[in-house]
Structure 1
């Protein structure tokens, strides 16, 4: 059998560090364009319990020990490696029926997720765990407090993916669990798993991931959930019907296993009443519908299935959309000029035809043909090709099949609305979707639609001429935003930046004294024990500094001259600082010092003037002015090392360094805090001395 590079004649699994073909029922995987045999697949033959134990005993401990910075750099290295191999993946992707543009979303979009989560490491500490949100005081005297931390779960992430994005579907999920510190077992749909296998082969051969971090199941995966535990996480992407079956698996219920479902949904796009023909928003709406119908031949969980338009514009939309779709050339993705490829296989083609025929009983086809399609470079009898199909539902509140049956292919239905409230109600009839969009230039329409529809959608795109050039479009989930939705869409979420990483970690509330919480979190908590050295902390290198290390400054008595001089230097002549006659009825007893003067003076008091390891002031955060400071008040500062975050070197010539966060606590003569802030300095490491 002739095979393509990076793919075997028999579809392989990667289990417990070895490639194996599996056993059981044999099936043939065919080219979606030519109908030729690609490879042979087997349904099972894997010991899922052993695979999970392998992931928990090998991959999990190795990843858990790594810091977020190390995991992020690992993802970056993996992304760079896969980008160098992308041409091999494109060659295989064409055999799934995908065009170059379709494959770009799948392949480079998937690798882009690795890059995005590699960059997200900068939002996390240089630790294996994450300290979440703010500390919580639990006592009047300040000796008892609480905090939340997150640690990687001790299990494995099991990802069950759909056939439409064999690369993106895997990479967008493992990017998140690997950054969180969990290994994964990936089970793509067998029909396109040959492309997933090729990518996994490159991942494994690169040696970038620790042993046991990634395993692959290319068969049906029957029984894969029988051995999961409460420390594992299961994610599913695919049909709502299959998702419901998996969600009800007894093992998931018995072990309380976290389960995230992202299901195909009846997504909608609304044309605003202001977006009439001739406006940019009307044209954008038509182009977006056309793109979502033809991209991946409509095989996208986020594709627009329902186009909801003002009733007086239905004919205009029908004509404009037909004109756009008529420009779409269909056929072999390798043929010059082809803009839409094939469905993933002829079995899917037949299923789609049956669904469209069922829908056509209530909603007639107004564009396209179920049986006839003009092709370039392809044979309609061998490939899984179909024409784009547009249907019309003139009575969408009575003819409800449109809101119930999803034809998973290049299919969309136009339906009218009378008022925006009616349009919102129609979007909700899909019973929950991954995404809805509205094309409008009217801010009020945008707000009313978004707030009215938000309960039923995971994401809402407001499309107008201002964002059109840079908009990623209706159908593109973004790594730093959640991907998921309520109801039919599965009720879960994935990606979402830091939010997504937390799905693979265990949150635990810790309680104790400030000193003990400081010791656990490696972040200084106010009220914890402090230590002072003779040497100024700004003269100590990154490695030498200790959490809780404190420097107490000399005192300074604030004068009216200080206030006047700062007002002149800063240009801040707010009445409370400069006009004592205007204070009646205010909170102030007299002229008050500028809050920024207090912080500026504090900096002058704690900064060491001589050259040392501190390279620069990196920023200021969490600044608060907690008590007015009047002339005659005496202030002092305690500067405490709060947290240390190591930074990687960007090049061989770069200076080894880290970011140090300092708690700046400014008090008056009564000992009360008048201002508090966190400053950040960039500090050289000792090996650069």
Structure 2
């Protein structure tokens, strides 16, 4: 693996990519440093905004909403179509910023921008399919139906691990549904956010859409607080930890707002005796080590039948030993850095706890490139064999740690899969149709995502994304997730010339 790029090289790449996207003031003048996890050095600085800025942005978005909600949905789709075209033109630039700010390897960063493009395509089609229902009325000469209308201003709070894709899931759908968006991105990825917002601003200007349909607020917790508490935010979509969700959910509910929460995941894959172990190994290694274990859908538990557990552990350990670890900008790198020192410390604390709770570290866990970049935290993905689902296994650690647990019966395996507070993603590797259908059935996985013969990560935008239990219950992206961004009205039209009442009620005057 080649050495890490210099700080000056990273700064140059950040400046050039951002300016090509339309961010022309990246060179300095701000009050907050932006660091790259690639080498721990400063990329640039940005100016943080305050909670008062958040209040003003919500007010501007409210003005835009009153105009945008009356624009026909297909015309709203034209804005999103143009945004998708600009994302295609600047895919490389935006992916560069994602890699620089959060450490994603090149292919994963490009994949994240592709998700943005894909959701724009989905939303454009959706703009002609915001269907309601016609319902049979019990009264003659009456029509009963449902209509869907724009909801209001959508607030988005996003996390570092998908610094732009999750915003685009919300924004593309919200815009075609008639809603403006106010976005607080992760403090760790402001440049990616500013570049994405600049491209959307350009699309807004080119299509003649109202100003302030899209606004980005770079700042700290006080900005998030402004979105959480503002009565002008009709829907708050927040991605983060379960702890964050516990704080946000009640605050939004207190003011009778809507919340869409995407919180923690402690995802498992069950491996049955009939599984193809070559396919299983590939699926597990990507799901567990991809994005350096920093996806909400990262595989954290492998629940493996006792007849194949030793063989599979050996295969995974061999694959881990060959994983190229280093600069995410280098071709061939598969594991980039953790986002910060605190992430590294959490990983080491979890490994210590696993040992204390009877675990055996089979592979990984060590640090790489510490002498070359003391401020960067590259780690070897860890493989830990456990005899039971101990407290540390039931806890999500946002780092590449894969716990392997044995099982004897499928009932036992499903119980282990479900015996955690989180309920985001899950999978089963099997050659048995019976086992697959049982896993997908009502007494199978209790997660929002349940896969067969693929890992827990890598969701497509066509399906609704989200989970159950402490994952928050929200659904974003595809399928009918658009309904969260609209309000439903039930309509009764009387064309009979008389006034029969429902349920046979008589009220003659």
Do the structures match in fold with TM over 0.5? yes
* Closer, same or farther: CA 320–485 of 1 in aligned 2, 3 Å: same
Secondary structure in structure 2 of the residue aligned to 1:76 = helix
* Closer, same or farther: CA 355–172 of 1 in aligned 2, 3 Å: same
For the pair 1:490 / 2:462, whether they are aligned, the reply is no
CA contact (8 A) 2:39 2:376 kept: yes
Q: CA deviation at 1:266?
A: 0.4
CA contact (8 A) 2:425 2:447 kept: yes
Structure-1 separation of matches of 2:162 and 2:246: 21
- Runs of 4+ that moved beyond 6 A: none
Structure number having the greater helix percentage: 2
CA contact (8 A) 1:177 1:504 kept: yes
Structure-1 separation of matches of 2:271 and 2:496: 58
For the pair 1:113 / 2:112, whether they are aligned, the reply is no
Secondary structure in structure 1 of the residue aligned to 2:162 = coil
Structure-1 separation of matches of 2:343 and 2:238: 20
Deviations, residues 453-472 of structure 1 (Å, cap 9, x unaligned): 55621011112xxxxxxx7x
1:291 counterpart residue number: 286
Q: Decide which of 301, 306, 320 is 2:301's aligned counterpart.
A: 306
CA contact (8 A) 1:94 1:103 kept: yes
Q: CA deviation at 1:365?
A: 4.5
CA contact (8 A) 2:383 2:403 kept: yes
Q: CA deviation at 1:219?
A: 0.9
CA contact (8 A) 1:13 1:216 kept: no
2:500 counterpart residue number: none
Q: Decide which of 45, 62, 68 is 1:56's aligned counterpart.
A: 62
Superposition pairs of residues 335-484 of structure 1, within 5 angstroms = 335-373=330-368, 379-396=372-389, 399-403=390-394, 405-454=395-444, 456-463=446-453, 474-484=456-466
Structure-2 separation of matches of 1:7 and 1:221: 25
CA contact (8 A) 2:269 2:427 kept: yes
Structure-2 separation of matches of 1:455 and 1:333: 34
Aligned length: 475
Deviations, residues 183-234 of structure 1 (Å, cap 9, x unaligned): 0011111112221111212221342453111110121141323552276100
Superposition pairs of residues 44-193 of structure 1, within 5 angstroms = 44-45=49-50, 46-58=52-64, 60-95=65-100, 96-124=102-130, 130=131, 132-139=132-139, 142-153=140-151, 155-193=152-190
2:238 counterpart residue number: 236
CA contact (8 A) 1:271 1:310 kept: yes
Structure-1 separation of matches of 2:72 and 2:154: 19
Q: CA deviation at 1:13?
A: 13
CA contact (8 A) 1:298 1:409 kept: yes
CA contact (8 A) 1:424 1:452 kept: no
CA contact (8 A) 2:29 2:45 kept: no
TM-score (norm 1): 0.65
CA contact (8 A) 1:138 1:145 kept: no
Q: Decide which of 175, 195, 198 is 1:198's aligned counterpart.
A: 195
CA contact (8 A) 1:330 1:374 kept: no
* Closer, same or farther: CA 176–486 of 1 in aligned 2, 3 Å: same
Q: CA deviation at 1:492?
A: 1.8
Structure-2 separation of matches of 1:193 and 1:232: 24
Structure-1 separation of matches of 2:24 and 2:58: 14
Structure-2 separation of matches of 1:458 and 1:22: 44
Structure-2 separation of matches of 1:457 and 1:477: 14
Deviates more, 1:228-237 or 1:191-200: 228-237
Structure-2 separation of matches of 1:513 and 1:455: 47
* Closer, same or farther: CA 146–98 of 1 in aligned 2, 3 Å: same
Secondary structure in structure 1 of the residue aligned to 2:159 = coil
Deviations, residues 440-461 of structure 1 (Å, cap 9, x unaligned): 1211111112115556210111
Secondary structure in structure 1 of the residue aligned to 2:439 = helix
Pairwise CA RMSD: 2.6
Deviates more, 1:266-275 or 1:344-353: 344-353
Q: CA deviation at 1:179?
A: 1.5
Deviates more, 1:339-348 or 1:503-512: 339-348
Deviations, residues 52-78 of structure 1 (Å, cap 9, x unaligned): 1110112x1332122222222321211
Deviations, residues 539-587 of structure 1 (Å, cap 9, x unaligned): xxxxxxxxxxxxxxxxxxxxxxxxxxxxxxxxxxxxxxxxxxxxxxxxx
CA contact (8 A) 1:31 1:345 kept: no
Deviations, residues 220-274 of structure 1 (Å, cap 9, x unaligned): 141323552276100111111111111122xx23321111111121011111232
Q: CA deviation at 1:324?
A: 1.4
* Closer, same or farther: CA 231–47 of 1 in aligned 2, 3 Å: closer
- Structure whose CA Rg is larger: 1
TM-score (norm 2): 0.87
Secondary structure in structure 2 of the residue aligned to 1:54 = helix
The answer for unaligned runs of 5 or more in structure 1 is: 125-129, 276-280, 464-470, 517-689
* Closer, same or farther: CA 372–512 of 1 in aligned 2, 3 Å: closer
Q: CA deviation at 1:335?
A: 2.6
Deviations, residues 529-548 of structure 1 (Å, cap 9, x unaligned): xxxxxxxxxxxxxxxxxxxx
2:211 counterpart residue number: 211
CA contact (8 A) 1:482 1:496 kept: yes
Q: CA deviation at 1:97?
A: 1.2
Structure-1 separation of matches of 2:236 and 2:345: 31
2:248 counterpart residue number: 246
Secondary structure in structure 2 of the residue aligned to 1:421 = helix
CA contact (8 A) 1:117 1:176 kept: yes
